Chains A and B, each alone.
Chain A
Amino acid sequence: GENVEQHPSTLSVQEGDSAVIKCTYSDSASNYFPWYKQELGKRPQLIIDIRSNVGEKKDQRIAVTLNKTAKHFSLHITETQPEDSAVYFCAASWGGTYKYIFGTGTRLKVLA
């Protein structure tokens, strides 16, 4: 079945620096890749997503890149701020199932 790997599991950066989180997926039929941010004890919130017909998408300080050939996608956060500290999950979905498989999560700490 589909498998999504995510790295690193933890990431600490200084405020203002950039953070990059990487995910790889196994099923080449995957065509939708969202990223979720989850703060402690709260629900995951969608922060950005990308579809398989696009290589890159940007929304202010957040960007996502997709390499379909290599089956990996990455989240880039620039000019990090303390409020960016949270757990970030990547996910892969395919076809019309809307079924998501999540990565293992990355705990990001932005140090002031």
Chain B
Amino acid sequence: GAVVSQHPSWVICKSGTSVKIECRSLDFQATTMFWYRQFPKQSLMLMATSNEGSKATYEQGVEKDKFLINHASLTLSTLTVTSAHPEDSSFYICSATPGQGTGANVLTFGAGSRLTVL
């Protein structure tokens, strides 16, 4: 089945620094990937839709200059949290779908990245 790899699984950084999280589709090409944020004991909140070769589409209330998304290839999307602050501490999860064939719109999630900003 479809596999999505996400790295790093956890990261601790100082306030004001930037952190990059990578999301890779290992056995399929993903024209579109999605980035979610999850606070403890809460639901998955869609942050943005990452489109290969074009600008990401951000959800209302998500700062595009703070959460930079790059989707340079059909198998890789990155999320960079710029000038991180303690309130950015959260669990970030990426997801992807093959977009065609059997299970075209079935979303497969990465393992998530737990960010802690000191």
Is B67 part of the contact surface with A, judged by Cβ < 8 Å? Answer: no
A98 & B46 in contact (Cβ 8 Å cutoff) = no
Residue from A34, A46, A93 having most chain B Cβ neighbours under 10 A: A46
Q: Size band of the B side of the interface?
A: 20 to 34
A98 & B44 in contact (Cβ 8 Å cutoff) = no
Q: Which 3 A-B pairs have the closest CB atoms?
A: A43-B109, A102-B44, A98-B105
Is B106 part of the contact surface with A, judged by Cβ < 8 Å? Answer: yes
Interface of B toward A, CB cutoff 8 Å: 32, 34, 41-46, 49, 60, 93, 95, 97, 99, 104-112
Which residues of chain A come closer than 8 Å to B42, judged between CB atoms? 104-105
A102 & B109 in contact (Cβ 8 Å cutoff) = no
Shortest Cβ distance from A93 into chain B, in angstroms?
Answer: 6
A105 & B43 in contact (Cβ 8 Å cutoff) = yes
DSSP majority for the A interface?
strand
Q: Size band of the A side of the interface?
A: 20 to 34
Which residues of chain B come closer than 8 Å to A103, judged between CB atoms? 43
Is A101 part of the contact surface with B, judged by Cβ < 8 Å? Answer: yes
Is A61 part of the contact surface with B, judged by Cβ < 8 Å? Answer: no
Which residues of chain B come closer than 8 Å to A45, judged between CB atoms? 109
Across the interface, A100 reaches (CB within 8 A) one of B99, B107, B111, B112, namely: B107
